[in-house]
A and B are shown apart, each in its own frame.
Chain A
Amino acid sequence: MGRGKFVERVLFFLALSSIGSLALITFFIFLEGLPLILHTGLKDFVASSHWAPTKGHFGILAMIVSSILVTLGAMVLGVPLGLAGAITLAEFSPERLKRILKPTLELLAGIPSVVYGFLGVIWLVPLIRIYLGGPGLSLLAGSLILGIMILPTVISISIDALTAVPQLYREGSIALGATRWQTVRRVVLPAASSGIITAIILGMGRAVGETMAVIMVAGNALKLPTSVLAPVRTLTSNIALELGYAAGRHREALFATGIVLFVIIMILNLSATLITRRR
């Protein structure tokens, strides 16, 4: 075997590290969690909201519902704000301003999630408690914080999608007498739609998977939420709150919660990949 061939082999093995890690992660999460799902039955696991792990009740319905609601709430804030930011920067701001603002907004991504959670507890939770009632630690607080946290994802991927639309499209539309805004709304946005949808899906993935900030602001109550002011516990919070002391079946149940989360995230990621590829 020549030196070149040898190097190529070695590099190939290094290159398998990412897919290999993914396979290992999948394997171990299922290895630890699947026995419990089989033991409890999938239906009792995902369709019951009775979670009393020390007494043998492992129903995570309330957490699934909470995760979905918190994520949807995050989208309500994050998508319009994020899209507005992306459109402003890509279409309506001078090149120089864009070059400063884009990296600045992307800096939001670097702020650790515990810092978002902390500021949520200090500022947002008291505001909700005083002006809207309830304990403050709530579905609403979780949604608002997550909505802010997904902004960098939504903004930066949408900007890339908008920038990828050929300049000719814009020129054609302007030449026909359309205003910049009409061009954006009728020509650029439809052309960039698959990229923007990808941005939104990846934002959702971030929101579903976020843990620390949600634990800090969402209240972690084990009930199906009855209002936006009710405290909720998401799938991620459930794992993080109990993993430290869980053992036996209880620990398995947390890995089983992880399986559900993992499957949701993979579906979101796969659809994002498929949409991007079709473009």
Chain B
Amino acid sequence: MRLDPRITQTLAKALLWTLTGFTLLILIFIIVDISIKGLPHVTAAFLFQEPHDMGRAGGIFSTIVSTAYITLLAILLASPLGVGTAIYLTEYTREGWATRIIRFGAECLAGVPSIILGLFGFVLFVMKLGLGWSVLSGGLTLAIMVLPIIIRTSEEAIKAVPQDYRTACYSLGMSQWQTITRIVLPAALPGITTGIMLSVGRSLGETAVLLFTAGAAPRTPATLFDSGRTMAVHFYILAREGISMPNAYATAAILMISILLINLAAYTLMQRLMKRYS
């Protein structure tokens, strides 16, 4: 028996919306559960006190500082590389074997799982180069992790700048480099910033890479060569070893909400850029 196509369509639509609704419910559940159980424990004292007794008491201040150092280092290292790559790919070369290899590299790098990056950072930076479990080793490895994100978004942003801008510059007698630094990059800046923000978001949530490159010392790192426990690693240790559920929830809430806000801001920024030039 064949159903009337219109009935089939109604059934199909109902099923599709139910499944989509289910996906949305999962997302809402995650955000609500973490916020409700975590936020009440987030106090000024929690944010600005050092963790005591393995994280059972005290706050998470040192982990916030470690996270900031490592993320900042990763961004400082990856941004020039990523933006440089994007400029090269979009402005300086035609599509050919070189661009294909570079794009292939970026794509594959984006697919490398974080545990592999952790192994790599551990053997190269921690062991071979003798940097030990440190903010520096962690930052270097994270820089490699976020590089493909920065390349992809910067490339999109630079491509979105209308060709007319460049033509106008050349007709005024500006060199290619002047055109890029004075006109194209400023116009693409919101998009490049988006890439950097997404990279910050990705870095904040990373655990597997940092566990084996930055270590888990709960003190505030004094130099680049000290081990630093980031918020995500701290949360993992609290949760896995069942040290303190309230503190785990509170750390997760801060972590999740900051990442979501950063990603949301990044998304809004990119939308605005795309709207302006399309």
Task: Provide the residues of chain B in CB contact with A266, threshold 8 Å.
Answer: 108, 111
Number of residues from B at the complex interface, CB < 8 A: 81
Task: Provide the residues of chain A in CB contact with B81, threshold 8 Å.
Answer: 14, 17-18
Of all chain A residues, which has the CB nearest B231?
A: A112
Given contacts A12-B88, A14-B88, A19-B104, contact A88 B115 (CB under 8 A): no
- B124 in contact with A258 (CB, 8 Å): no
Does A139 sit at the interface, judged by CB under 8 A? no
Does A25 sit at the interface, judged by CB under 8 A? yes
Task: Provide the residues of chain A in CB contact with B117, threshold 8 Å.
Answer: 25
Total A-B Cβ pairs within 8 A: 245
Taking a contact as CB atoms closer than 8 A, the residue among A151, A155, A179 that contacts B6 in the complex is A179
* Bound complex: CA A211 to CA B236 (Å): 12
Task: Provide the residues of chain B in CB contact with A101, threshold 8 Å.
Answer: 20, 24
- A119 in contact with B85 (CB, 8 Å): no
Does A167 sit at the interface, judged by CB under 8 A? no
- Which interface residue of A17, A114, A210, A215 has the most chain B CB atoms within 10 A? A114
* Bound complex: CA A180 to CA B92 (Å): 45
Given contacts A28-B124, A182-B5, contact A258 B115 (CB under 8 A): yes
* Bound complex: CA A268 to CA B81 (Å): 26
Shortest C-beta distance, B236 to chain A (Å), equals 5
* Bound complex: CA A258 to CA B115 (Å): 8
Taking a contact as CB atoms closer than 8 A, the residue among A3, A25, A112, A243 that contacts B259 in the complex is A112
Given contacts A3-B177, A240-B211, contact A11 B24 (CB under 8 A): no
**Main SS of the interface on chain A?**
helix
Number of residues from A at the complex interface, CB < 8 A: 84
* Bound complex: CA A20 to CA B107 (Å): 13
Task: Provide the residues of chain B in CB contact with A29, threshold 8 Å.
Answer: 116, 119-120, 123
| Residues of B111-145 whose CB lies within 8 A of A | 111-120, 122-124, 128, 144
Taking a contact as CB atoms closer than 8 A, the residue among A4, A31, A110, A116 that contacts B201 in the complex is A110
Mask: chain A, 243-279; 1 = CB below 8 Å from B; 0 = not: 1100000000011001001100110110011000000
Does A44 sit at the interface, judged by CB under 8 A? no
- A15 in contact with B9 (CB, 8 Å): no
| Residues of B76-121 whose CB lies within 8 A of A | 80-82, 84-85, 87-89, 92, 98, 101-102, 104-109, 111-120
Shortest C-beta distance, B16 to chain A (Å), equals 4
* Bound complex: CA A219 to CA B8 (Å): 43
Shortest C-beta distance, B8 to chain A (Å), equals 6
Q: Give the interface segment out of B162-170, B184-192, B221-229, B248-256.
A: B248-256
Of all chain A residues, which has the CB nearest B81?
A: A17
Does A118 sit at the interface, judged by CB under 8 A? yes
Does B278 sit at the interface, judged by CB under 8 A? no
Does A87 sit at the interface, judged by CB under 8 A? yes
Shortest C-beta distance, A31 to chain B (Å), equals 8
- B34 in contact with A243 (CB, 8 Å): no
Mask: chain B, 199-225; 1 = CB below 8 Å from A; 0 = not: 001001111100110000000000000
Does B260 sit at the interface, judged by CB under 8 A? yes
Of all chain B residues, which has the CB nearest A207?
A: B113
* Bound complex: CA A10 to CA B148 (Å): 19
Of all chain B residues, which has the CB nearest A2?
A: B175
Q: Give the interface segment out of A46-54, A58-66, A78-86, A223-231.
A: A78-86
Task: Provide the residues of chain B in CB contact with A110, threshold 8 Å.
Answer: 201, 205, 259-260, 262-263
- A265 in contact with B30 (CB, 8 Å): no
Given contacts A239-B119, A269-B111, contact A179 B5 (CB under 8 A): yes
Of all chain A residues, which has the CB nearest B91?
A: A11
* Bound complex: CA A112 to CA B202 (Å): 8
Does B232 sit at the interface, judged by CB under 8 A? yes
- B104 in contact with A112 (CB, 8 Å): no
Given contacts A15-B88, A179-B5, contact A151 B23 (CB under 8 A): yes
Task: Provide the residues of chain B in CB contact with A21, threshold 8 Å.
Answer: 105, 109, 144, 147
Mask: chain B, 19-37; 1 = CB below 8 Å from A; 0 = not: 1101110110010011000
Of all chain B residues, which has the CB nearest A254?
A: B119
Task: Provide the residues of chain A in CB contact with B112, threshold 8 Å.
Answer: 22, 25, 209, 262, 265
- B148 in contact with A202 (CB, 8 Å): no
Does A205 sit at the interface, judged by CB under 8 A? yes
A-B pairs with lowest CB-CB distance, top 3: A209-B113, A19-B105, A112-B205
24 examples of A-B residue contacts, CB within 8 angstroms: A7-B177, A15-B88, A18-B85, A20-B105, A21-B147, A25-B120, A28-B120, A108-B26, A113-B208, A114-B235, A119-B30, A179-B6, A180-B9, A181-B5, A209-B115, A211-B113, A236-B115, A236-B208, A239-B118, A261-B115, A262-B112, A262-B116, A265-B111, A266-B108
Given contacts A15-B102, A28-B123, A212-B207, 11 further A-B contacts (CB under 8 A): A15-B84, A18-B109, A22-B112, A112-B256, A179-B8, A208-B113, A209-B115, A212-B236, A239-B115, A239-B119, A254-B119
